[in-house]
Amino acid sequence: MTDIKDFKVLARKYRPQTFADLIGQDILVQILTNAITTNKIANAYLLTGVRGVGKTTTARLIAMSLNCQNKKQDTCEPCGNCESCNSIKLDHNLDVIEMDAASKTGVDDVREIIDNVKYKPINNEYKIFIIDEVHMLSKSAFNALLKTLEEPPEHVKFIFATTEAKKIPVTILSRCQRFDLKRVESLKLSLHLKKISELEKVKIDDGAIALLVRAGDGSVRDSLSLLDQAIINNNQTVSVDSVTKMLGLADRGKIYDLIENIAKGNAAKSLAVFRDLYNSGADILMIFEELLSAVHSITQIKISPEIQDDISIPELERSKGVYFSDQLSMNSLSIMWQVLFKGFEELQNGFHLYQHGEMILLRLIFLSKEPNPNKKIKETTSEQSEQVKLESKDIDLKKKNNLDNNTTNTYENKPAVTGGFPLIRITNFRSFVDFFYMKREALLHTQLYNSVKLISFKEGEVTLNTSVIKDQHFNRNIAKLISKWTGRIWQIHSSDSNIGSSLSDEDVINQQNEIKIMKNHPQVKKILEALPGLSIHSITDITETVDETTDENDDERQKEI
């Protein structure tokens, strides 16, 4: 039997000991690997991201790699067995100093670091200062650190970790190499939890893993802590039901039953299911949060049917999502979302939550029963099911999606799941921006073309650097219009990353490259040699120019000239 003193929580027991063990941070690992192996190490690194994605772990790995006594020349991986590596693991290496800025926020604490900088390392090549939650330092503490951070001795390296990079002064940010650690993807996190469960000899359902991953919200540490709790609660077997009870979640099956009865307009049954959920111990806010999550999941599957094959989503959620995505129109799902979201906001500041929750459900049910030319609710009579089908004509959506014939090559029309009308697919950012020009949104088109930098693009989700844009509603306006025009939900995110570029910058670069190519053309080269001082300013496709030779007034114009 294992001694209780030897017990370690999973988050500590399976903490990465090499860069290869870090999951979901491939770009970070690649850059650090190249920097360490080529000995191009920055004075200071800033690691930022949500909790539990590996900021402090990465900082310690960098420290281990830089000071490893047995590290091979062509790799960045620390050996993990030398005296330096072991002392860093046990947190008593004299040359690697960790400071928690949440508890030591003052200028005096930073002065201790500055005074310590001038002394060379005792046993290692580098003296490394790791400052966790660095955003908690006071303004005067940051100012005291500036000069040392910009020009530290060669034997000193700084590594900062924070969850709030926006709270750090730009003068500090400009002196650091910044790495944004991403939330770990659900699929990778699911495989990681499954692997650890196997190592711990614990049998766990795939549905239970999916619930733990969703509750962890991209955080490895949070997900492992929840897995630890689930194992302790259930010994060697973890089921979906046990995880649902542990997390205090509402029964997902009853949540979908509630959605079904709401869609049918059956108020009595809807309130009965709601009462059962409440009596079983589910929190009112949790019930509505689960309803919102279910509607969102159904909408995702309706827009992207391939999601139903994602093993990181619980089986019940996938099967129910596929069924309801066939039965509910996009218009119906949109109405459900809006009413539930507004009701959820009301509940957060309301009283008598149970009664308030019932009234929100009734509001949604009777709203759907109001006369609406775009929607007709029809009860099915099949013995196979008493489910409801919401058949939508989606007249407005069809009008919004009618594009000019000359855009058929740029945008791809894809049949919607229901209704028979096309959804417009936009496959790249330039087509996305051109859409605003086509729809005569001149100001927004100009801003998108000249003033924003593209960070990432995938259909339905765009991340932009909009630091130049002063309009605080810019993202919301963009998302609203593009969602309306394409018939699908788009999300527009902001980022302060500078890795992207604007379309106008790209076009300038492309134009310069074309000019270089044109200068090497034999005929153009002869002209340039024959006429010294002549240069190519720009290149224009002759097919885009206007041919005025057939103009009826050409003769008169020539006479006037």
- Listed by start position, the domains of the chain span 10-180, 183-247, 250-392, 405-494, 503-544
Question: What are φ and ψ of residue 370, in 5° steps?
Answer: -65, 150
Q: Does the structure show a pLDDT above 50 at 233?
A: yes
Tell me the CATH architecture of domain 250-392: Up-down Bundle (1.20)
Alpha helices by DSSP H, listed for 451-502, are 474-486
* Residue written as token pair 């309801």: 324
> 153-187 b/e with 16+ CB inside 10 Å = b?
eebbbbbbbbeebeebeeebeebbebbbbebbebe
Count CB neighbours of 389 within 10 A.
18
pLDDT, tens digit (0-9, with 9 covering 90-100), for 147-169: 888 888 889 999 999 998 899 99
pLDDT, tens digit (0-9, with 9 covering 90-100), for 26-79: 888 888 888 888 888 898 999 998 888 889 999 999 999 998 888 887 788 888
CATH class of the domain comprising 10-180: alpha beta
| Range in 1-10, 376-385, 465-474 with the lowest mean pLDDT | 376-385
Using a 10 angstrom Cβ sphere, with 0-12 exposed, 13-18 middle and 19 or more buried, the burial of residue 81 is exposed
pLDDT, tens digit (0-9, with 9 covering 90-100), for 169-187: 999 999 999 999 888 888 8
CATH class of the domain comprising 183-247: mainly alpha
Query: What is residue 543's predicted lDDT score, i.e. its pLDDT?
Result: 53
Q: Does the structure show a pLDDT above 70 at 546?
A: no
Q: Does the structure show a pLDDT above 50 at 259?
A: yes
Residue 388 is inside which H or E element, if any? strand 388-392
**pTM of the full predicted structure?**
0.55
CATH classification of 405-494 is 3.30.300, yes or no?
yes
Same topology, domains 10-180 and 183-247? Answer is no
pLDDT band at 419 (very low <50, low <70, confident <90, very high): very low
